[in-house]
Amino acid sequence: MRATLWRDLPYRDARALVNVFTTCQPEHGVGDDMAIEQGRRAVQSRAFPLFVFDPRKGERIHERLSLHGNPSMTEDWAKDGKTGKPYTFVDYARTEGRFRRQFSADGEPSELLLTAQADRLRNWRLLQELAGLSK
């Protein structure tokens, strides 16, 4: 991602947008040593997918939009490396203290979290479609 950023900074023929995720450790309830891992989890769970829109790549959106860097780009959810199961937004939410109140005592996610997960999946599928990766 860093190489892409440095390559594209001098480009002047169109506007650029750089959107970067990072945790706020105290507010998100994440340990100080976990920022990089949380970033990976945010990407893996589709909470914060990586994408690059490069107008130099072609005339059509699917030529210009790249989802390179996201795990399992053609799948709905990336697989958890340890369990082999889909790693969803709810799984990501379990790793951050700010979502603690969105789980019942027995660990069931709230309707709000399930709605957020469905929203993340819709957003991911839209990005796949725009990038020419839909099934």
- Helices marked H in the chain: 2-8, 25-28, 35-44, 61-64, 89-93, 111-130
So what's the pLDDT on residue 70?
93
What whole-number distance in Å separates Cα of residue 54 and Cα of residue 67? 11
Residue range 59-90, pLDDT digits in tens: 999 998 999 999 999 999 999 989 999 999 99
So what's the pLDDT on residue 125?
97
Cα dihedral across residues 96, 99, 100, 104: positive or negative? negative
Which of the residues in the chain have pLDDT under 70?
A: 1-12, 14-30, 135
As beta bridge partners, residue 87 has 78
So what's the pLDDT on residue 106?
97
Q: Which two tokens stand for residue 93?
A: 């939410």
| 94 close to 103: Cβ distance less than 8 angstroms | yes
The residues spanned by each domain of the chain are 2-130
Residue 24 amino acid letter: C
What whole-number distance in Å separates Cα of residue 42 and Cα of residue 106? 24
Q: pTM of the entire structure? A: 0.84
So what's the pLDDT on residue 92?
95
